[in-house]
Amino acid sequence: MVCKEVYGSSSVCKKYVKKEKDTLSTIDLSPKWTSISQFFTVVFLPQGYPESVSSDYLQYQIWDTIQAFASSITGTLAAQAMLKGVGVGDESATVMAATLTWILKDGTGMIGRILFAWIQGSNLDCDAKRWRLFADILNDLAIFMEILAPYFKAYFTLIVCTAGVCKSIVGVAGGATRAALTQHQARRNNMADVSAKDGSQETLVNLAALICSLTLVPLVTGKDMLIWTLFLLFTVLHLVANYSAVTSVVMETLNQARLHILVREYLHSGRVLSLQEVNQREPVLWRTRRKLSVHLGTSIGKVFSKASVLEELISTYKDSNYLLDVNLKAGRISIMLHLTSTSLDHLQSCIQAEVISFVYDNMYKNTQVLHEDLRDILLALQAGDTLEASAASLQYTAMRVDEFCQALITQGWSCDPLLLGPDEWRAEWESRGTTHKKEI
Number of domains in the chain: 3
CA 280 from centre of chain: 14
Q: How far is CA 114 from CA 110, 140, 241, 423, in A?
A: 6, 21, 29, 20
**Which residues lie across from 332 on neighbouring strands?**
293, 327
- Domain span at 243: 57-249
Q: Looking at the structure, do residues 7 and 114 belong to the same domain, yes or no?
A: no
Which pLDDT does position 432 carry in this prediction? 53
What pLDDT, in 10s, does the model give residues 148-160? 998 998 898 899 9
Confidence of residue 86 (pLDDT cuts 50, 70, 90): confident
What pLDDT, in 10s, does the model give residues 124-134? 888 899 999 99
Q: Which of 249, 272, 300 is the last residue of a domain?
A: 249
Q: Looking at the structure, do residues 265 and 167 belong to the same domain, yes or no?
A: no
pLDDT at 269 over 70: yes
Confidence of residue 436 (pLDDT cuts 50, 70, 90): very low
Evaluate whether residue 440 is within a structural domain: no
pLDDT at 119 over 90: no
Give the three-class secondary structure for 404. Answer: helix
Which pLDDT does position 435 carry in this prediction? 44
Mean confidence (pLDDT) of the chain: 88
Confidence of residue 91 (pLDDT cuts 50, 70, 90): low
The residue-averaged pLDDT of 337-354 equals 95
CA dist 266 and 268 (Å) reads 5
Which pLDDT does position 153 carry in this prediction? 86
**Which residues lie across from 326 on neighbouring strands?**
333
Q: Where do the DSSP E strands lie in 239-372? A: 253-255, 293-296, 322-327, 332-338
Which pLDDT does position 437 carry in this prediction? 44
CA dist 250 and 372 (Å) reads 34
Confidence of residue 439 (pLDDT cuts 50, 70, 90): very low
How many other CB atoms sit within 10 Å of the CB of residue 236?
Answer: 12
Evaluate whether residue 152 is within a structural domain: yes
Asked if 13 and 4 touch (Cβ cutoff 8 Å), the reply is: yes
The residue-averaged pLDDT of 215-220 equals 88
Which pLDDT does position 249 carry in this prediction? 94
Q: Looking at the structure, do residues 242 and 258 belong to the same domain, yes or no?
A: no
Evaluate whether residue 434 is within a structural domain: no
For a pLDDT cut of 70, what percent of the chain falls above it?
93
The residue-averaged pLDDT of 175-199 equals 90
pLDDT at 323 over 50: yes
Q: Looking at the structure, do residues 194 and 297 belong to the same domain, yes or no?
A: no
Q: Looking at the structure, do residues 93 and 37 belong to the same domain, yes or no?
A: no
Please tell me which residue, 349 or 188, carries the higher pLDDT value.
Answer: 349
Omega within 30 of 0 (cis) for the link into 50: yes
CA dist 12 and 28 (Å) reads 8
Q: Looking at the structure, do residues 244 and 281 belong to the same domain, yes or no?
A: no
Identify which of 201, 206, 141, 202 has the alpha carbon closest to the alpha carbon of residue 169: 141
Q: Looking at the structure, do residues 162 and 214 belong to the same domain, yes or no?
A: yes
Q: Looking at the structure, do residues 9 and 72 belong to the same domain, yes or no?
A: no
Evaluate whether residue 433 is within a structural domain: no
Out of 22-36, 395-409, 418-432, pick the least confident. Answer: 22-36
pLDDT at 367 over 60: no
Q: Looking at the structure, do residues 286 and 263 belong to the same domain, yes or no?
A: yes
Asked if 324 and 353 touch (Cβ cutoff 8 Å), the reply is: yes
Evaluate whether residue 51 is within a structural domain: no
Confidence of residue 4 (pLDDT cuts 50, 70, 90): confident
The residue-averaged pLDDT of 233-252 equals 95
Q: Looking at the structure, do residues 188 and 258 belong to the same domain, yes or no?
A: no
For a pLDDT cut of 90, what percent of the chain falls above it?
60
Evaluate whether residue 435 is within a structural domain: no
Q: Which helix or strand (DSSP H or E) is residue 159 part of?
A: helix 156-185
Q: Which of 206, 229, 249 is the last residue of a domain?
A: 249
Evaluate whether residue 112 is within a structural domain: yes
Which pLDDT does position 89 carry in this prediction? 55
Which pLDDT does position 397 carry in this prediction? 95
pLDDT at 136 over 90: yes
Dihedral (C-alpha) 187, 192, 197, 202: value to the nearest 10 degrees? Answer: 120
CA dist 222 and 229 (Å) reads 13
Q: Looking at the structure, do residues 238 and 319 belong to the same domain, yes or no?
A: no
Q: Looking at the structure, do residues 228 and 318 belong to the same domain, yes or no?
A: no
pLDDT at 176 over 60: yes
State the CATH number of the domain containing residue 77.
Answer: 1.20.1250.20
Evaluate whether residue 439 is within a structural domain: no
Which pLDDT does position 10 carry in this prediction? 67
How many other CB atoms sit within 10 Å of the CB of residue 300?
Answer: 16
Confidence of residue 238 (pLDDT cuts 50, 70, 90): very high
The residue-averaged pLDDT of 263-289 equals 92
Q: Which of 249, 271, 302 is the last residue of a domain?
A: 249
pTM, two decimals, is 0.85
The residue-averaged pLDDT of 197-214 equals 92
